[in-house]
Amino acid sequence: MTMRAINLYNTLTKKIEPFVPNEAGKVKMYTCGPTVYHFAHIGNLRSYIMEDVLEKTLRYAGYDVKRVMNITDVGHLSSDADSGEDKMLTGAKREHKTVMEIAEFYRNAFFDDCKKLNVKTPDVVEPATNCIAEFITMIEALLKKGYAYMAGGNVYFNTEKLEQYYVLSNQKEDDLMVGARDDVEEDSNKRNKTDFVLWFTKSKFDDQELKWESPWGTGYPGWHIECSAISIKHLGERLDIHCGGVDNIFPHHTNEIAQSEAYLGHKWCNYWFHILHLNDSTGKMSKSKGDFLTLSLLEEKGYSPLVYRMFCLQSHYRKPLLFNYEVLDNVKSSYEKLRKKTSSLKNEGELQAEQMLPFQEAFAQALGSDMNTSQALTVVYDVLKSDLDDAGKKALVEEFDKVLSLDLMEEPEKEKADGSLAAYVEEMIGQRQAARKEKDFAKADAIRQELLEKGIEIKDTREGTVWNLL
């Protein structure tokens, strides 16, 4: 089978380049999962929506994709540079619950959001707390190879041992470190300021709830090691593509590369895919700030989750996106119109394969051009405007929606409600007629009264019984 061409921007080479996996036809894809100490905000969800489109683009192009995602339920401290408190503990204290209760609650909430957004669950989802043995094995090997050292009871990765540490970004060291630290605090155990913790044993956070036995004493893993170990566990030594939000480039992904390649002794991952942030008028959305927009909040305000998905698809993943209700309102109205049109397409006329092909090519071309999702949406509108028969339009929209996942073939919610109301009223009218036939006028009147109480009036005319909303 020939694969359709896909070009992607690769953070590693800083170029748009053809995507070629290690093994023909197969893609090994890794996604950094959520830190489950709070609800995902719609910024986080932007990243997961665009990663979902990437996975589906690869599948649409003909690849067999295996995608793995971790769940961060230990080790991610309030500052990405190993200082502050474990975010999970912060969540547990905030809600007077245990870390595991918090993890389960927010993990379920995350997948509920994903389901509403038609974000497919990755083939493997692995919580960090499931893989302590794998982390220990990897850290032991790094110590043995001389890439790690012990200091003050913790195990650190020694970045000085690498030929090149800043492979993903060419920013200045100091800028990067400042960016990474919410609460700057020097750790005097570190030999180099870019060194990072692989395993904590002695830390000032004695109330860390989850701790495990290790060769270095009771403790818990650092955040970065989990993604390297979980990826290698499920996807092997050579990863094709690794994704995350742009804030993960440094230090998280930089450190993942450092420790994975030191451990494996060869290059680990060929393509790095990063999504730019969703910002609100106050700046970057952040879970730790506590005050953030969630999908449920948008739903409460009357926006269907798929309106937000469409909002994300309309802009390019490599551009920052500003959240704004005015724009969301426009998207809502265009989404509802679009879905009304696409869901009412009938299987009428012919499937004109030859005439359909240019649209399929245009759609693949848009996604293959560094995932130009807004262009891909334009192709849907082009199909609707075209002079193809409805059957062909329907088949194309159905095919494209495998990637867009906007439920384009389903009737809009409002229509559905109206539809089910009509079905209900017709059923009641039928029951009333049956009652009248049996001369059970009390029952017939009760049915009319019941409908009236629901704001539905029925009238008997020569053409039969008709109804209207009061």
Please give the residue ranges that form the binding site for ligand AMP (CB under 6 A): 32, 34-35, 43-44, 46-47, 72, 244-245, 247-248, 275, 277-278, 284-285, 287
Which residues, other chains included, contact 416 with Cβ-Cβ below 8 Å and sequence gap of 6+?
none
Minimum distance from residue 277 beta carbon to ligand AMP (Å):
4
Q: Which residues contact 426 (CB under 8 A, 6 or more apart)?
A: none
**CB neighbours (10 Å) of residue 334?**
15
134/129 Cα distance (integer angstroms)? 10
Alpha carbon of residue 315 to chain centroid: 16
Q: Which is nearer to ligand AMP, 319 or 439 (CB)?
A: 319
Provide the token pair at 470: 């009061």
Smaller CB separation from ligand AMP, 244 or 368: 244
- Which residue do the tokens 């451990």 mark? 263
* Closest separation in Å from C-beta 386 to ligand AMP: 35
Report d(CA 94, CA 159) in Å as an integer: 35
For tokens 């492979």, the residue is 167
- Least Å distance, CB 186 to Zn ion, is 25
Partner in contact with 227, chosen from Zn ion, ligand AMP, none, beta carbon below 5 to 8 Å by kind: Zn ion
With residues binned 3-state (H G I as helix, E B as strand, rest as coil), the percentages for the chain, rounded to 5, are: 45, 15, 35
CB of 292 to ligand AMP, least distance (A): 9
Name which of 54 and 345 has its Cβ closer to ligand AMP.
54
Interface residue with Zn ion, options 180, 227, 321, 331 (CB under 5 A):
227
Q: Which does 251 bind (CB under 5 to 8 A by kind): Zn ion, ligand AMP, none?
A: none
Is the CB of 269 or the CB of 364 nearer to Zn ion? 269
Q: Which does 47 bind (CB under 5 to 8 A by kind): ligand AMP, Zn ion, none?
A: ligand AMP
454 interface partner picked from ligand AMP, Zn ion, none, CB below 5 to 8 A per type: none
Residue 278 binds: one of Zn ion, ligand AMP, none (C-beta under 5 to 8 A by kind): ligand AMP
* Tokens (6 digits) for 401: 């929606």
- Does position 32 interact with Zn ion (CB under 5 A)? The reply is yes
Among ligand AMP, Zn ion, none, what does residue 34 contact (CB within 5–8 Å per kind)? ligand AMP
Residue with tokens 């030191």: 262
CB nearer to Zn ion: give 197 or 227. Answer: 227
Does the protein bind Zn ion through residue 239 (CB under 5 A)?
A: no
Verify binding: residue 456, Zn ion, rule CB under 5 A: no
Provide the pairing of β-strand 64-71 with 26-31: parallel
338 touches Zn ion by CB under 5 A: no
Among all chains, which residue has been given the structure tokens 């009264």?
449
Q: What span, in angstroms and rounded, lies between the C-alpha atoms of 416 and 410? A: 9
Give the one entry of ligand AMP, Zn ion, none that residue 231 binds, where binding means its C-beta sits below a cut-off of 5 to 8 angstroms depending on kind. none
| C-alpha separations of 365 from 90, 317, 403 in Å | 46, 16, 13
Contact between 225 and 164 under an 8 Å Cβ cutoff? The reply is: no
User: Which C-beta is closer to ligand AMP: that of 34 or that of 305?
Assistant: 34
Stretch that binds Zn ion, among 3-11, 26-34, 49-57, 310-318 (CB under 5 A): 26-34
C-alpha torsion 351→355→356→361, nearest 10: 160
Binding site for Zn ion (CB under 5 A): 32, 227
